[in-house]
Structure 1
Amino acid sequence: MASDSSRFGHARWSEVAVLAGPALLLFGAFVLLPFLLAVCFSFTNVKLLQTERVEWTGLTNYTRMFALTMVDAPAATGEPTQDKPQRQWRAIKRERPADLESYQYLTDLSLGGRHVLVGARDPQFLRSIANTFLFALLVVPLQTALAFAMALWVNHSFRGRVALRTVFFSPVVTSMVVVSAIWGLILHTEAGLANQVLRAVFGPDAPQPDWLGDPHLAMLSIALMSAWQGAGFQMLIFLSGLQGISIDQYEAADVMGASAWQKFLYITLPGLKRTLVFVALSTTIMAFGLFTQVDVLTGGGPMDSTSTLIFHSMRVGFREQDIAYGSAMTLFFFLFVLLLSLGQKKLMERLGR
């Protein structure tokens, strides 16, 4: 008879190995090993197809991500052209090639009466971080509100609510590549459905926005599409939370003469407090992983206005074949999401007290 030390719960170690071994093997081969390789690569100068001259570079790749420099801009000459700061940067860089050789123009600022030009070793990375935060600020409240409204709708008893739930959830199970391609056709400037509807409603002189080609509209268009595609999943989470609220509370509120708004404000929202926090934070984490929509619809453009952290790391790692620097960016993203997840855990524990 086997001793207790040879058992894992109610199962033998051999049974655990047989059942969990294949999954653990796949996890190690496709998750753990690539992660460890990325950690090692991030401290080297390895290239994708040039592995014969690999050198240890320490924290060079990490300092490259956030390296900034500032120079005073020349006095204004009254030329209100949009590319004037870029031309000023190029002129200063020609005068000081040794100091600014590895820096590119990022932006211009006014600091204490001084007009300075800001350069970065990787301005696309910093723009990608800003774009990632912008996407999260756009999509999280929009998707959360849309999912909440859909959950409230389908939580009522009416004919066809099961079919309506299926319709709301169907975009979630559709491939993001397919969804992005379809929305690319809808948002096409000349032949897209969106602009055709504008012409049909407001006439032939209606504005025809370049939804994916305008730097001011491209990220908003992607956020709208992403919120529509992912709201069905959060709807199910909200729906389970709504159904977990005791019906006795609503019946007691009816006896006391509470209005529908009062029941929503004092029963529904407090009952969904933990659910709201979970949905908002999980949606935020998913928003920071934006890649497929950008890759299919805009390729990071126009003018890097939709480039995100994951997209930029993939572009650098595989298209530019700089595996070392791409690995450093992905590790930075991993640590950021890890800290965000720990913050979520602490917040959930505090709300549960």
Structure 2
Amino acid sequence: MTTANGGAGQAPALLVLEDGRTFRGRAYGAVGETFGEAVFSTGMTGYQETLTDPSYHRQVVVMTAPHIGNTGVNDEDPESSRIWVSGYVVRDPARVPSSWRSVRTLDEELTTQGVVGISGIDTRALTRHLRERGAMRVGIFSGPALDEDSGSDRASLLARVRAAPQMKGASLAEEVSTAETYIVPARGERRFTVAAVDLGIKGMTPHRMAERGIEVHVLPATASPDDIRAVGPDGVFFSNGPGDPATADHPVALMRSVLESGTPLFGICFGNQILGRALGFGTFKLTYGHRGINLPVQDRTTGKVEITAHNHGFAVDAPVDRDSETEYGRARVSHVCLNDNVVEGLELLDRPAFSVQYHPEAAAGPHDAAYLFDRFVTLMEAQRA
């Protein structure tokens, strides 16, 4: 979906939303064109983790913080081997990065990886527009020819944006998943073995488990129940990932096989939506989603309020005011977002399984939800006992 020829410089750029609204700015990163779903992220830091999160596949990310790129780019913080966003939108990119960890500028990184972006636009106005109208398809176009664009040219660009695929109905997990199984060894003594189904996993997630003595076998999204059993796991983990959960029939069937086995199960983000579907709940697309590192969630089992990191445009449709009877026993909504009461977690009361809709691995923060990995360990300890 992206073409680029590098070297943005001061080339003009145009952002075109599918409802016809446009924003004119300057190229940031690669010069060319790109398409995707326009979404906004409220994080003031952690842009490198955002860019490399596979959950952002086929999305054009608008940063609400006005200054981006201040700390440059390093080789320690990426959450995967590449940038996954389809495009990047910022207001005031840093002219010179200021961090002892920086090895290159963000502009250079975007250009090298062929990511088309735009800078110098009113990102506050764009964010307000997306909040009112909802996430929608968008195109970013940059290059010298835009200096003389006409009304007919814009009509042509708008038609191309509207021809781009929508996020609803998109099946994307296999596009970002690992092709081969790999192992992240436990740090120190190995206490448990976990099979992690990679639906778009971030690098910090198996690291957090490894810190707790867990050897993590990361499996492709196409893994079968036999592949999971071959690991001999003490627990099974379903990761975050992109796309519409309504299309994820294979991960749902795989999770149901885990639930039937009674093996402790933990899911995050896309994994939460997969658990919802496995239990018989529906899913739906949020108007503009939750993205950022500052969203308040209440753990209803403890009453504690956490500030959490999110990236999801879909949610589980489950009742928050009562327990539900499912094929696998009683299910309960364990976490809710305090901004809009969206379901942010599920737990089974009669089997060792739970999930949350956000990112407890906390890259780039906050760390309020790290206890969820300990909760997973507790489930595995109880099962072993």
Q: If the TM-score is normalised by the length of the shorter chain, which range does it land in?
A: under 0.3
Give the TM-score normalised by the residue count of structure 2.
0.18
The structure in which a higher percent of residues are helix is 1
The structure in which a higher percent of residues are strand is 2
Select the structure of larger CA radius of gyration.
1
